[in-house]
Structure 1
Amino acid sequence: MYKVKNWKIAPITITFAHNFSNDFCGHARSLDALGPLVNQNEMLNDGFTDLGLKTVKALLDNKNGKVIYPDLKHMCLQSRREYYHYLDTNFKGKNIPIIVSHGAVTGTSWNNPESISDESIFCNTEINFYNEELIAISKSNGLFAIQLDGRRLAKKSVLKKLNSKKNKAFASAEIIWKHLEHIAILLDKNDLNSWNSTCIGSDFDGTINPLPGIYNASDLPLLANNLLELSTHFLSHYDFKNDFNKLTSPETIVNQFCYDNLHHFYLNKF
């Protein structure tokens, strides 16, 4: 690891868990569609091992090479909560950004996950992220990259209706916007910037079910245009608590999500 940390161009982030046991920490269930073809049970929903904690310590150590920030996607909730506690205990005030490379929201608290309303579109499963985590990411000056996998972004009942929509690309953009809207309202209520912690984490290089009309990078300009229309409508109807959120223009919101937030984060880390 220390050899990697001392590369001329070392990675800034690294995904700490994936679909199966890695002896570091527990992972969330992610391959439901494959049924009995795969077995994810080993270390499923477990916390950190001693080896995992030693590895995190080495990644975040700035004395023997560049810091590499763990990406929390695919970690189970137990491991994620242990990671947040580890940061609070060992790195309080050290400004360690919390990173999610391709995630979606549950729309609810980890203390009461079943409280999500029937009207909510969100996919309330543990691989997605809870309100407390979105707040922690913002406070850490981290990044929450929203993935473009329909299976993670919305409930099955919502996805089934998409193909019947006349403008499928706009209907798909509405699902992504609902994530941005939820995050914006949540962060504003907690006196945080609503718009500077989100970006695109498409997962186009993974095995995903893309939303209709958003199949690859060539569709992202259309997504941006649709988000601009949706953000304009939202800002004309919602009254933010904080002026620094209220006075943000639709153009700034879309530019930050599609480009600026990610660019500024990595520009500051190199």
Structure 2
Amino acid sequence: MKTKFIDLHVHPAMKPLGKSFNSNPGLNHPKKNRTNSIWFQDPPTLSDKIFNILLSLTKFRQSDFTSLAKGGAHIVFVSLCGLEKGFVMKKDKTGLLRDLPANFVAGIGKKRIDYIQKMTDYFTDLQQEYDFYNQLNGTVFRIKKQNYRYKIISSFNEIKEETDKRLKTIYVILTIEGTHVFNAGLKLMDKNVDAAEVMANIDNVKRWKHRLFFIGLTHHFDNEMVGHAPSLSGIVTKLCDQTTGMYRKGFTKLGKKVLKKLLDNSNGQRVLIDMKHLSTEARKELYSILDTEYANETIPLIVSHAAVNGWPALPDGLEKREPGEGLFQQKEINFYDDELVRIAKSGGLFGIQFDERRLGSDKEIKKSRGSWSRRKMLFKQSKLVWNQIQHIAEVLNSNGEYAWGIQCIGSDYDGIVNSLNGFWTAEEMPLFDSYLEKHAYNYLKSSEAKKLSAQNKVEAGELIEHFMHKNAYTFLEKNF
């Protein structure tokens, strides 16, 4: 089966923009065989795959537009995301011994890292990434005897049915990951946040030619606005300290002003909120603000790239829960069952991340590995995503909601993710689609599916089409 797909969260520019600093900083090269072109394809070699399996590192490219085209991408939500200084600098303000490890993990190039270490303005970096996408907007490229282009859009009405069979379009919608991009969280540079500057930068973004659709309020490090959840793991935790601001109780005074400004819809320029990376305390405060200050509106909640943790409800206070041996990673960066119901009731979306470390408990991840059979590996790895889809469906079904309406792809390809083995890049999406349908078919024939209400008993193919494309497409039709 091959379904057009929509991805709620990808970073196609991160690596080519980084490589541009080796020659012409900020140039998105019009020749797709150049490493600083967003169309440059660098599929994983055998050694890359082994490296990924053993060390959870992904230096090859996953969401370049050539891979997206070959995989059947219809719409992608690209995440503008300036790399935070916490990845490349220590608290003593040095980058000593951080260049090589950071490049090793992210694969963006030493000269790009040197630039990030020295810069004092995140917003200028954001503008450069925005310009990087604009440079090749609409430019046509020839891939496998077919013409392709990407087109940045600002409304659903710009999505057209293909009439020219010689040209296929990948539609691009702009998002941001982390409000540090408005020039906050620069304590490492002895720079205090300027509230007026932050607000002016938000106004600037709202005037962009191409609309910003949604934004994640925080990312991996303190942005002086809102608490972030623990997010780093493996070798990265040995290099980076993200504890400052991590357990802040919700929003700062500036954070509340920023939230209000983003949600301001007086000129039809509301920016929706992506809840990924928020701490549990921040999420609870966000829900409270929406329930009180926006009680007369239904604002759709978005989680662009995440997973469930299997716990029934958000904890009271900061109580600690010991991870169990169930299916999921039971950590606060992942989402609770009561949040899934809230997202569904708001008409929102939940993007499931293709990061092995987020999707399963240690026990489940171990079970998904260890097979020399490629077919068995693909089946087990795709099951990690299916477990997420199924859990969300059963939670929604038990709460009287439509079971299959919020789940969608939020791969986080070319973020710092540990790829699902076998589904290394966006080019493998048709393969992923076919394996996911096997899991759906098996589930719908099982005794577990008998608990589904009549409205939630659908065919396997229809269910997977919802996940791959329809849910996100319908959401855009209503909200974009």
Q: How does 1:147-226 map to 2 (within 5 A)?
A: 147-165=353-371, 166=373, 167-226=376-435
Q: How does 1:18-33 map to 2 (within 5 A)?
A: 18-33=219-234
Aligned CA RMSD, in angstroms, stands at 1.7
Structure-1 residue corresponding to 2:49: none
Residue 428 (structure 2) pairs with residue 254 (structure 1): no
Residue 337 (structure 2) pairs with residue 135 (structure 1): no
Structure-2 residue corresponding to 1:3: 204
Structure 1 residue 36, shift from structure 2 partner: 3.8
In 1, the alpha carbon distance for the partners of 2:395 and 2:444 equals 15
Higher helix fraction: Structure 1 or Structure 2?
1
Structure-2 residue corresponding to 1:239: 450
Task: Give the conservation status (yes or no) of the 8 Å contact 2:229–2:246.
Answer: yes
Structure 1 residue 64, shift from structure 2 partner: 3.8
In 1, the alpha carbon distance for the partners of 2:441 and 2:238 equals 46
Q: How does 1:98-109 map to 2 (within 5 A)?
A: 98-109=301-312
Structure-1 residue corresponding to 2:263: 60
In 2, the alpha carbon distance for the partners of 1:162 and 1:231 equals 17
Kindly provide the amino acid, as one letter, of the partner of residue 214 in structure 2: T
Task: Give the conservation status (yes or no) of the 8 Å contact 2:323–2:329.
Answer: no
In 2, the alpha carbon distance for the partners of 1:234 and 1:58 equals 44
Deviations 1:77-109, CA, capped at 9 Å, x for gaps: 110111111111111241101111100000112
Match of 2:437 among 228, 239, 254: 228
- Secondary structure of 2:285's counterpart equals helix
Higher strand fraction: Structure 1 or Structure 2?
2
In 2, the alpha carbon distance for the partners of 1:234 and 1:161 equals 19
Kindly provide the amino acid, as one letter, of the partner of residue 281 in structure 2: Q
Task: Give the conservation status (yes or no) of the 8 Å contact 1:45–1:77.
Answer: no
Deviations 1:46-74, CA, capped at 9 Å, x for gaps: 21111111111111111044110111111
Task: Give the conservation status (yes or no) of the 8 Å contact 1:104–1:153.
Answer: yes
Deviations 1:164-222, CA, capped at 9 Å, x for gaps: 13311110111111111100000000000111101000011201111111111111111
Kindly provide the amino acid, as one letter, of the partner of residue 23 in structure 1: E
Residue 283 (structure 2) pairs with residue 80 (structure 1): yes
Kindly provide the amino acid, as one letter, of the partner of residue 211 in structure 2: A
- Secondary structure of 1:12's counterpart equals strand
Structure with greater Cα Rg: 2
- Secondary structure of 2:468's counterpart equals helix
Structure scoring higher RCO (CA < 8 A, sep ≥ 6) equals 2
Identity of aligned residues (%): 36
Deviations 1:112-148, CA, capped at 9 Å, x for gaps: 9848753x22001111111111111111000100000
Task: Give the conservation status (yes or no) of the 8 Å contact 2:402–2:455.
Answer: yes
Task: Give the conservation status (yes or no) of the 8 Å contact 2:436–2:464.
Answer: yes
Give the TM-score taking structure 1 as reference length: 0.93
Task: Give the conservation status (yes or no) of the 8 Å contact 1:188–1:194.
Answer: yes
Give the TM-score taking structure 2 as reference length: 0.54
Structure-1 residue corresponding to 2:149: none
Deviations 1:206-241, CA, capped at 9 Å, x for gaps: 011111111111111111111111111211221134
- Secondary structure of 1:57's counterpart equals helix
In 1, the alpha carbon distance for the partners of 2:323 and 2:342 equals 20
In 1, the alpha carbon distance for the partners of 2:348 and 2:293 equals 18
In 2, the alpha carbon distance for the partners of 1:66 and 1:182 equals 34
Task: Give the conservation status (yes or no) of the 8 Å contact 2:276–2:304.
Answer: yes
CA, structure 1 residues 232+61, in 2 after alignment: closer, same or farther (shift >3 Å)? Answer: same
In 2, the alpha carbon distance for the partners of 1:7 and 1:14 equals 15
Unaligned stretches of 5+ residues in structure 1? none
Kindly provide the amino acid, as one letter, of the partner of residue 455 in structure 2: F
Task: Give the conservation status (yes or no) of the 8 Å contact 1:173–1:223.
Answer: yes
Residue 184 (structure 2) pairs with residue 14 (structure 1): no
The size of the alignment, in residue pairs, is: 268
- Secondary structure of 1:229's counterpart equals helix
In 1, the alpha carbon distance for the partners of 2:365 and 2:243 equals 28
In 1, the alpha carbon distance for the partners of 2:353 and 2:333 equals 12
- Secondary structure of 1:102's counterpart equals strand
Structure-1 residue corresponding to 2:176: none
In 1, the alpha carbon distance for the partners of 2:413 and 2:237 equals 23
In 1, the alpha carbon distance for the partners of 2:258 and 2:348 equals 20
Task: Give the conservation status (yes or no) of the 8 Å contact 1:108–1:115.
Answer: no
